[in-house]
Amino acid sequence: MSIDAQYFADLYAANEDPWAFRTRWYEKRKRDLVMASLPRQCYERVFEPACANGELSVLLAERCAELVCQDLDPKAVGLATDRLADVRHAQVERARLPADWPGGRFDLIVLSEVGYYLDPTDWLQVIEQAVASLSYDGGLLACHWKHPIAGCPQDGREVHRMLSKHLPLYPVFCHDEADFIMAYWSNQPSVVDLDETCI
């Protein structure tokens, strides 16, 4: 992260849910939209950096065989670990983007509410790492608040402009509202699998 770790430590020191993921209708609706928008029913291996307290992670775990979550803040890692305690195919790691990118291939990478905490140089590195980590038919979903956030080097619009410019992937959809933008790109022009069975 381009933002200092103390920024997140201060947020979690005051509140286990500093963005009100558990209670705000905006956040619940956005999670539901993310899950409904995923074009495949099941994914083999999913990566969710900046998982925070694991509210989206729990839903992603229902749609995959293996889930890798990361967060910079140790309290967030603890909360997400507790949230996923009964999910044997999920792991939560303390890590810092872009340096601590996990190994292996993913058929889904979810970059949700993370891009604006990185400056353009670090964000470009994340984009490049994501592309290099996708499986042959993998997809990338990004979702970000569009308005400026105090202390952050970018806003959601800038984050998504960089994604659109630098992702050598096929655009699948873009959902653009007044407050947030969500988009999905794929390594393949079609993501429909008519013979798909869930894991």
| Cβ burial, residue 157 (10 Å; 0-12/13-18/19+) | middle
Enclosing H/E stretch for 183: strand 180-186
CB 46 within 8 A of CB 58: no
Taking a C-beta distance cutoff of 8 angstroms, is the pair 19, 66 a contact? Answer: no
Tokens representing 100 are 């601590």
Per the DSSP assignment, residues forming a β-bridge with 108 are 46, 139
Sheet with 170-176: strands ordered across: 90-94, 64-71, 43-48, 106-112, 134-145, 180-186, 170-176
In DSSP notation, 70-110 reads: EESSHHHHHHHHHHTTT-TTEEEEE--TTTTPPPS-EEEEE
Residue 42 per-residue DSSP state: -
| Closest of 192, 190, 109, 191 to residue 143, by C-alpha | 109
Q: Are strands 180-186 and 134-145 parallel, antiparallel or unpaired?
A: antiparallel
Q: Which domains does the chain possess? A: 5-186 (3.40.50.150)
How many other CB atoms sit within 10 Å of the CB of residue 116?
24
Digit-by-digit pLDDT tens for the chain (199 residues) are 566 767 655 565 776 766 557 778 998 999 999 999 999 999 999 999 999 999 999 999 999 999 999 999 898 899 999 999 999 999 999 999 999 999 999 999 999 999 999 999 999 999 999 999 999 999 999 999 998 888 888 999 999 999 999 999 999 999 999 999 999 999 998 766 655 555 5
Which amino acid appears at position 104 of this protein?
G
